[in-house]
């Protein structure tokens, strides 16, 4: 991670997730070299049927991390865009587990230290392994773009006219300049 600043965010598209937990497996294998989904820094929460949801929970690498704010030992620091666990400092009080608004830090009986996503040095294993493209690494500047675009497309005040182009019927939508009031 030397010299590299993480300007991408690990984003989750829960509608795409199938709940296969491959992301959990690869995370645990990468960080602990064991086959144990319960040692992953990403976990998939599944609810059914009210609501029907498969939601991978993973750290957002907040710019103003609540986990770091409650840490009494200065063991969580934002370094190069990733909230890093400074292992030597950590006293394993688990205050961070409760402080994270997403519950994105985990504990396991075999490990003293909390389990926290480190973005795999900028190339997250879970993103590469997800068979549904439900996990994506997205530049910060692009975050929210699809919502913005959707908002534009669904703008209710638009008008429509039909026209023909090379014999094919088409529709153009536009927003009328309103009367000044």
Minimum separation from the CB atom of position 157 to another protein (A): 28
Find residue 130's DSSP bridge partners. none
> Near ligand SF4 by CB under 6 A, which window of 32-40, 100-108, 136-144, 158-166?
100-108
Residue 132: name the closest of 11, 10, 8, 19 by CA. Answer: 19
Nearest approach in angstroms of CB 35 to ligand SF4 is 15
Query: Rounded to an integer, what distance in angstroms lies between the CA atom of residue 26 and that of residue 63?
Result: 26
Question: Interface mask (CB under 6 A) for ligand SF4, residues 103-142, using x and -?
Answer: -xx--------x---------------x-x-xx-------
Measured from the CB of residue 152, what is the shortest distance to another protein in angstroms?
A: 25
Q: How far apart are CA 35 and CA 22, in angstroms?
A: 11
The residues in 9-48 that bind ligand SF4, with binding defined as CB under 6 A, are 17-23, 44
Angle at 37 between CA 36 and CA 41, to 5 degrees: 115
3-class DSSP state of 162: strand
User: Residue 73: which residues within 8 A CB-CB, separation 6 or more?
Assistant: 89, 90, 91, 93
Query: By the criterion CB under 8 A, which residues form the site for another protein?
Result: 15-22, 25-26, 29, 33-39, 45-46, 48-49, 52, 54, 108-110, 129, 131-132
Partners of 171 in the beta sheet?
Answer: 162
Contact footprint for ligand SF4 (CB under 6 A):
17-23, 44, 56, 59-62, 65-67, 71, 73, 75-76, 83, 85, 90-96, 100, 102, 104-105, 114, 130, 132, 134-135
């Amino acid at each position: 991670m030397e010299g590299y600043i993480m300007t991408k965010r690990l984003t989750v598209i829960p509608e795409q997730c199938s709940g296969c937990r491959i992301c959990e497996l690869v995370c645990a294998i990468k960080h602990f070299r064991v086959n144990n989904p319960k040692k992953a820094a990403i976990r998939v929460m599944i609810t059914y049927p009210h609501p029907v949801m498969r939601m991978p929970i993973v750290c957002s690498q907040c710019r103003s991390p609540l986990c770091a704010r409650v840490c009494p030992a200065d063991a969580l620091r934002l370094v190069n865009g990733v909230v890093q666990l400074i292992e030597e400092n950590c006293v394993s009080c688990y205050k961070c587990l409760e402080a994270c608004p997403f519950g994105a830090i985990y504990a396991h009986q075999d490990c003293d230290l909390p389990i926290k996503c480190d973005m795999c040095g900028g190339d997250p294993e879970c993103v590469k392994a997800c068979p549904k493209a439900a996990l994506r690494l997205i530049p910060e500047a692009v975050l929210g773009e699809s919502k913005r675009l959707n908002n534009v497309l669904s703008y209710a005040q638009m008008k429509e006219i039909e026209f023909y182009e090379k014999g094919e019927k088409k529709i153009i939508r536009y927003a009328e300049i309103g009367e000044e009031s």
